[in-house]
Amino acid sequence: MTDVKWVKLKVGMFDGESFKKIKRAKIGGEKFRDKLTAVWFELMDFAGKCNHAGAFINSREIPFSSIDEIAIMIDREPEELQLCMQFFVAEGMVEIVDNIYQLSNWTQYQNEEGLARIREQNRIRQANFKARKALQAANEEGQEDDSNEESNVTDNVTDALPSISISNSNSNNSNSNSLIEIEGCGEKEEKPKSIRIDYMEIKTMYNELCPSLPSCVAMSDARKTAIKARFTSGYTMEHFRTLFQKAGASSFLKGCNDRNWIASFDWLIKDSNMAKVLGGNYDDRQPQPAQRPPQQPQRPQREKTFMDMVREMEANGGGDVL
């Protein structure tokens, strides 16, 4: 999702609940209400840049946990942002989850399921591109052979190449879903299959397997949306169990790092982070056994000669030997 950064704005948005709360603000007068409106747009834009289900987290997956850090990113004075943020939190427009600021009801401003569909279309498009490159390479190789071999190679590759076409089911409706047809595979995807997800089981599983991490108290809409997007992209409940087992056993994710940073539930269920944890990027490394220095070979002892015995007797005060 890092390559898709946008937020949804629609006609009549100022009649929505968030902007009505701003209009009814009773502190600071009209100038303060205008500032609230401007800061709210800036926070939406910043959340879109972070692209983390409404949470303020930087590109290194480190959350912005202080007002000062967020103020720098949106070019505001910390004092004025603090005043605005107090209003947003009090009105439920911003929530603090595991010490991370995030916009409430983020699904109103960004379509997570739509982004998952875009990723799938990009994956299919890339697969089709690779297949065309393989066909082109086969054709170039076949030109060096006789015409019969060239025909056979081309026919074989063409038969194995799936043809992908995307057409709108209703050309008059620009918002209609696209129908993806893959010829040669016999599959048509008109509607995504419904997926039943036990969110409470995932919450319980996380709290049991990751006792050292901040507990997950409630399943917000943003969390449910993120989890549903992971299932849509192919993850299963067993993947989540493995994810939490690895996170609970990782010293780095439990705070053994240079910033004493601790991973949270929201950090773990993000697409890129989940892939990295499952891939073993944060597994504890086994200490390498200490290598012993090579031992010097012992020199064989020389047998004593008669003169050696004479010297020993003289050293011990034995007197004359002869």
| pLDDT 10s digits, 158-177 | 444 444 444 444 444 444 44
Tens of pLDDT, residues 111-160:
556 556 666 766 777 777 777 777 777 777 666 555 554 445 444 444 44
With a cut of 50, say whether residue 37 has pLDDT above it. yes
What's the one-letter identity of residue 160?
A: A
Tell me the CB-side half-sphere exposure of residue 130, using CA atoms within 13 A.
6
Higher pLDDT: 11 or 45? It is 45
pLDDT value, residue 304 = 65
Token output for 90: 């009090």
For 6, residues 6+ apart whose C-beta sits below 8 A from its C-beta are: 48, 110
With a cut of 60, say whether residue 67 has pLDDT above it. yes
> How confident is the model over 168-195, as a mean pLDDT?
47
Asked if residues 63 and 99 have their Cβ atoms less than 8 Å apart, the reply is yes
Asked if residues 1 and 55 have their Cβ atoms less than 8 Å apart, the reply is no
Tell me the Ramachandran region of residue 171: left when phi exceeds 0, alpha when psi lies from -120 to 50, beta otherwise. alpha
Q: What is the DSSP string of 4-19?
A: -------TTGGGSHHH
Q: Helices 221-232 and 112-142: crossing angle, nearest 10°?
A: 20
**Which of 79, 75, 80, 108 is CA-nearest to residue 93?**
108
Higher pLDDT: 260 or 117? It is 260
**Pairwise CA distance, residues 237 & 197, whole Å:** 9
Tens of pLDDT, residues 294-314:
666 666 666 667 677 777 777
Asked if residues 81 and 56 have their Cβ atoms less than 8 Å apart, the reply is no
Sort 32 into a burial class: Cβ within 10 Å, 0-12 / 13-18 / 19+.
Answer: middle
Sorting pLDDT into bands at 50, 70 and 90, what band is 185? very low
Give the distance from CA 124 to its chain's centroid: 21
With a cut of 90, say whether residue 202 has pLDDT above it. yes
CA distances from 192 to 110, 130, 149, 271, 285 (A): 19, 25, 43, 19, 40
Tell me the CB-side half-sphere exposure of residue 313, using CA atoms within 13 A.
12
Tell me the Ramachandran region of residue 92: left when phi exceeds 0, alpha when psi lies from -120 to 50, beta otherwise. left
Query: Which residues is 318 bridged to in the sheet?
Result: none
Token output for 299: 């020199």
**Pairwise CA distance, residues 257 & 272, whole Å:** 20
Residue entry with tokens 């502190």: 27
Token output for 207: 């709290």
Residue entry with tokens 């599983």: 205
**Which of 74, 88, 73 is CA-nearest to residue 36?**
88
Token output for 226: 């993120």
Residue 149: CB atoms within 10 Å: 12
pLDDT value, residue 71 = 87
Asked if residues 64 and 103 have their Cβ atoms less than 8 Å apart, the reply is no
> How confident is the model over 173-201, as a mean pLDDT?
57
> How confident is the model over 61-90, as a mean pLDDT?
86
Q: Which helix (H) or strand (E) holds 274?
A: helix 271-278
Mean pLDDT of the chain: 75
**Pairwise CA distance, residues 257 & 251, whole Å:** 8
